[in-house]
Structures are given as C-alpha cells and as structure tokens.
Structure 1
Amino acid sequence: MKYTDVHGKLADYRQQIANIRERMRETLAAVEPQQVQDYELASFDGPVRLSKLFGEHEDLIVIHNMGVACSYCTLWADGYNGIHQHVVSRAGFVVSSPDRPTVQRKFAESRGWKFPMVSHADSSFAADMGYASSKGGWLPGVSVFRREGDSITRVSDTGFSPGDDFCALWHFFDMLPGGVGDWPAVGRKPSCCSSS
C-alpha cells in the first residue's frame, strides 16, 4: 500500500478515535458521582487528608501507582514531570503508591520528579477505589475527584496498561516500523502489571 493511501487511512482512524473520545466525555458528564470518604494518607510532611490534596481547586487527579517495583509505573510517572505545571493550573494532582514516604522521597529524587506523592500503605484508599488486585497486589490507574464543600466524590477513573493513552511513548513507538520492536517491554507486561 502506498504511503499516501496509508496516511489517509490513518487520519481517518485518528478522527474515529477523536469522535469516540467526544462520546466518552459526554457519557462521563452524565455519570452520577461516587461519594468517597476523606481518607487519611501519608506524605513526606506527615498525615494528610484527601480533601487537602485539592489545594485551591475543586478537582483532583490521583494516580494509582504500584510503587518502585513497577517499571511501567515508573515510565508513566516520568511522563508527569513535563505536564505537571500545566495540570496543576487546572486541578490538584498527586501520585499515590503503597511505598512509605521515605521510599517515595528517595525514589522521586532519583528520578527528578516534581509532583507530590502520598502513601496509601496504612489506608484502604487504593482497595476501595478498585486498584487492589485479586492476588493481593496493586493495580495502576487514575481517579478523578471533585470537592464541593465537605463532600468528596469520584467522578471518573480508569486503569493503566501498556499501550494506553497515559504514556506518550507508546504512541511514538506505534509510528515506528515494527512498533515497539525489541524494546524491553515488547509483547509482555512486567510482573507488576499482570496481577489482576
């Protein structure tokens, strides 16, 4: 197939994806939010309530990260640095993992991460949000919350997986001949992302 033919076909597929995303936004707008409690989590500076993570915003994005043992979660988190300053102009943003704050701080410093982190190690937060696996581990994803007065609701969430929309690297690899090729993540999920 000629390059020009493929280019047109791919442009059509991308438009279909854009249309599906618009329908997803419309569906989300009609969802009845899920009431959640004001969980206490651990931070570098001590205990912190979920309500405080919103900062001055009504909305909060919480990344469910599986911790330092997951290479894919590290890959996703590396990508947040570039967008963090833009995200926080619109909503609160925090990465939550099962690692203790001392472990989180050391790892964040080694990666140059700028975003805040909290630990759900002594909380049912991740499990209650559906990000605990049936095998006793954790699952990656994102939850979005809204705060209205003293009320906190979850308005949307989705899991992460290799090839998803939350890591730009997959999409650059998709454009290469042979896709991800022999990159270390080829055709497999690391053990940290396969426990469900």
Structure 2
Amino acid sequence: MTVETMLAPPEVLAARAKSRWPGESAEYRAARTALLAEEIALRRQIERVAERRRALPPGPVVGDYWFEGVEGPVTLAELFGDKETLVVYTWMFGPERERPCPMCTSLLSAWEGEARDIQQRVALAVTARSPLDKLEAFAAERGWRDLPLYSDPSGDFSRDYNAIVPDAGEIPQLLVFTRRGGTIRFFWAGEMDDTSADPGQDPRGAPDLMPLWTILDFTPEGRGAEWYPSLTYPNA
C-alpha cells in the first residue's frame, strides 16, 4: 500500500478543520470547506510533482561557459562554490535593453530578500547578457545587495539554454544544475511556454516562482489581465 492510498481523502480533512471567522454565513462555510478540500488536494499534487522532479535523470553539460562577476571571469563550475546544486535565473536584461524586464525584476526583488537563505542550501546565480556594470548599476538603484549577478558577455550560455529565442528576443529561464563526483549535469528547467498556456492566461510555470502572484491569487481581484509591476516607485 502506498503512502498516497493511506492518506485520508481531502474532503475528510477539510471537514475536520476548525477555523471559523466573525460574521461568516452557512453559505460561506460550505463553500470554504469545499474549497479547502481542493486546496489540500493541490498541496498533495505539488508534493507529487516535486517528488517526480527530484527523480529526473540529469544529463551532461556540453560546452564550456564563462561569466563576468564582481571578482572577474568565472566558469560555470566555479558558480557552484562549495555546493552540489546550482540554481541559475536568466534575467531579461540584454544589451539592447535600456531597462530590464519588469516581471523579471519584480521576481528578483522578492528573491533578494531570500538570497542568503537560498544559498545556505544551494548555489545561486542571476545571469544577463548586459555588461556587468549595467547590471550592478540597476541593482544599486533597486537596493539589491545579496543577489549574485553575472554577465554572460558571449551570450553562449543564454543561447544554449533557451534564454534567447530564434527571433532574438529574450525569455527568462530557471535552470538547475548538479555537480556530483566532479561532473556537472543539467537537472531541470521550466518548459511551459505559449504552446502550453491555457486560454486567457499568461504562459507560466507551476508552482509560480513569483510571490507577488501567489499573494494576488488569494484576492478577489486576482492577478489582473493588463497590470504589470513597475520598475520604479516613489520613495516613501
């Protein structure tokens, strides 16, 4: 018998929940309990997907890649530091852009606060094709201090790992590499795009990487169809 078959049905767990809120109606409680069952099922689905993701058989990295960091040139292998896993985010901030992608920037602003925590477990790198001084200037403007930024001056890494699409446009990528026994392998990357998007939704992965959307998904207004985060906000 598997762990999955031993679990109580989501509806049973939802019915056991004790939370009640001031002024709630019987109609609200019935609808909320039904929704809670779906949320429990979603939690389990997320765990199932994560387990299957961890079981992927990684493939070899072909090619030598180097980047420009604050301490000079660095190879892909050196990005690992003392860790066995490396997470790379490709920031949409190519040399043709005066300003970076607002969506990428919103995501990275959230990650800025988590960067040190992430790096306790794995190595982290944010790459972009613009020169390093351009990346650092914007990071200073945004108040970033902990995100490790690297320029991909040749564009080879960005090109090989699908951060540049055939029409020369940019797309963000979250890439995971492993290093076991001294051998670097490609482990996982997001693959949801326009071809796999559902009608009326932006192409996005799941779980969503952006805390912003997670919070807005809890609200009656939701994400909105035409709204984007800003690159600048008035000082408080």
State the TM-score, normalizing by the size of structure 1.
Answer: 0.84
For residues 131 and 2 of structure 1, the distance between their equivalents in structure 2, rounded to whole angstroms, comes to 48
For residues 169 and 225 of structure 2, the distance between their equivalents in structure 1, rounded to whole angstroms, comes to 28
Q: Secondary structure at the match of 1:55?
A: coil
Give how far 1:183 is off.
7.2
**More deviation, 177-186/112-121:** 177-186
Q: 1:104-163 CA distances to partner (integer Å, 9 max, x unpaired)?
A: 110111112221111123131122112222321211121111112431111111158568
In structure 2, the CA distance between the partners of 1:38 and 1:19, relative to structure 1 (3 Å rule), is: farther
Identify the residue that residue 96 of structure 1 maps to in structure 2: 127
Q: When you count strand as a share of all residues, which structure comes out higher?
A: 1
**More deviation, 36-45/77-86:** 36-45
For residues 29 and 87 of structure 1, the distance between their equivalents in structure 2, rounded to whole angstroms, comes to 17
Q: 1:42-88 CA distances to partner (integer Å, 9 max, x unpaired)?
A: 12222110111111111111011112421101001001112111101
Matches within 5 A, 1:70-85: 70-85=101-116
For residues 127 and 141 of structure 1, the distance between their equivalents in structure 2, rounded to whole angstroms, comes to 11
Percent sequence identity over aligned pairs: 27
Contact 1:173 1:180 in 2 (8 A): yes
Q: Match for 1:49 among 51, 58, 75?
A: 75
For residues 97 and 118 of structure 1, the distance between their equivalents in structure 2, rounded to whole angstroms, comes to 7
Contact 2:80 2:86 in 1 (8 A): yes
Contact 2:128 2:151 in 1 (8 A): yes
For residues 225 and 92 of structure 2, the distance between their equivalents in structure 1, rounded to whole angstroms, comes to 25
Supply the RMSD in Å over aligned alpha carbons.
Answer: 2.3
Q: Which residue identity does 1:166 align to in structure 2?
A: L
**More deviation, 150-159/71-80:** 150-159
In structure 2, the CA distance between the partners of 1:109 and 1:13, relative to structure 1 (3 Å rule), is: same
| Residue 4 (str. 1) matches residue 29 (str. 2) | yes
- Identify unmatched segments of 5+ residues in structure 1: 187-196
* Bigger radius of gyration: 2
| Residue 170 (str. 1) matches residue 201 (str. 2) | no
For residues 75 and 87 of structure 2, the distance between their equivalents in structure 1, rounded to whole angstroms, comes to 14
Higher relative contact order (CA 8 A, sep 6+): 1
| Count of aligned pairs | 186
Give how far 1:96 is off.
0.8
| Residue 17 (str. 1) matches residue 60 (str. 2) | no
Identify the residue that residue 130 of structure 1 maps to in structure 2: 162
| Residue 179 (str. 1) matches residue 211 (str. 2) | no
In structure 2, the CA distance between the partners of 1:3 and 1:38, relative to structure 1 (3 Å rule), is: farther
- Identify unmatched segments of 5+ residues in structure 2: 1-25, 94-98, 193-202, 230-236
